Chain A
Amino acid sequence: MKQEKGMTLIVKRITKVTVSLIFLFGVYIVLHGHLTPGGGFAGGVIIALSFIHLVLAFGKEAALKRITDTVISVSESVGGLLFWGIALLGLVFAGTYFLNFLPKGEPFTLFSSGTIVLCNIAIFLKVGAGLFAIFLALALFRITDDKQEGRNGL
């Protein structure tokens, strides 16, 4: 009896349409974090949910072909270091730790408000990659009755 990987055909067809829509919505919420409600945390969780949607519908291997292990851990570390680096640049350029030093343009446009947009992007990378790594570790952990090794950590 051949084991069908993932879910049924209807779910796979609909997933191909909705995954990109969820991803685009998450990026929109992150970039407009200083104008509408949302911000980096909600957008990062939505991006992680879009990848989880892909794993649940197609099985683990189809999603891991697109995003490998090193991409997840590197993007999480880059997000954390970028957030801390913005704080240090405030110290170097303008005298106080965490100062908002970039020029603030016209209000209510996309690139106003200084360093808030960059901080939102750093938080979104960190939260999205971290939560997706937690889900992969929980889903790949196998309760073994026979002699079979689980996943060896990321």
Chain B
Amino acid sequence: MSLYALCSILFSIGLYCLLVKKNLVKKIIGLGIAEYAVNLFFILLGYRQNGEAPIVDTYAAAGQYFVDPLPQALILTSIVIGLGVTAVMVAISVRIYEKYRTFDINEIRRLKG
């Protein structure tokens, strides 16, 4: 139970960093931390005490004691999609820097257009 609480503390650190900081790159870093916390939470849900990694070893080992393979398959998809989202965010912020010469969102809001 305390492992779940630590995971939600990590998520709230990322959320706080996304809300409060004024630098665009710091906001991207905060979103990345929140994403790590969500992936960790799903894998914590599927862990079985004294379980093995879900790879079948020998022929007649059908009764081995495995951890749950379904959350691992879903989070594999999520990790690769997180990379794509980070790439698009970095492309947009490179364009914003090229036009306004700053990453500060207060300056950008003042120099609109």
Q: Which residues of A contact B (CB under 8 A)?
A: 36-37, 39, 41, 45, 107-108, 127, 131, 134, 137-138, 141, 143
Taking the closest CB of chain B, its distance from the CB of A123, in whole angstroms, is 10
Check B80 for interface membership: any CB of A closer than 8 A: yes
A41 touches B76 (CB 8 A): yes
State whether B98 touches A143 (Cβ < 8 A).
yes
Q: Of B59, B76, B83, B94, which contacts A141 at CB under 8 A?
A: B94
Chain B interface (Cβ within 8 Å of chain A)? 53, 55, 59, 76, 80, 83, 87, 90-91, 94, 97-98
Q: How many A-B residue pairs have CB under 8 A?
A: 20
B57 nearest in chain A by CB position = A108
Interface of B is mostly: helix
Q: Which single residue of chain A is at the shortest CB-CB distance from B58?
A: A108
Find out whether the CB atom of B87 lies under 8 angstroms from the CB atom of A36: no
Which of the listed residues A36, A39, A134 has the most CB atoms from chain B within 10 Å of its own CB? A134
Query: Would A138 and B55 be within 8 Å (CB), given that A41-B80, A127-B80 are in contact?
Result: no
- B90 in contact with A36 (CB, 8 Å): no
A39–B72 CA distance with the chains assembled, in angstroms: 13
B80–A138 CB distance below 8 A:
no
Interchain residue pairs with CB less than 8 A apart (20) = A36-B55, A37-B53, A37-B55, A39-B76, A41-B76, A41-B80, A45-B80, A107-B59, A108-B59, A127-B80, A131-B83, A134-B87, A137-B91, A138-B87, A138-B90, A138-B91, A138-B94, A141-B94, A143-B97, A143-B98
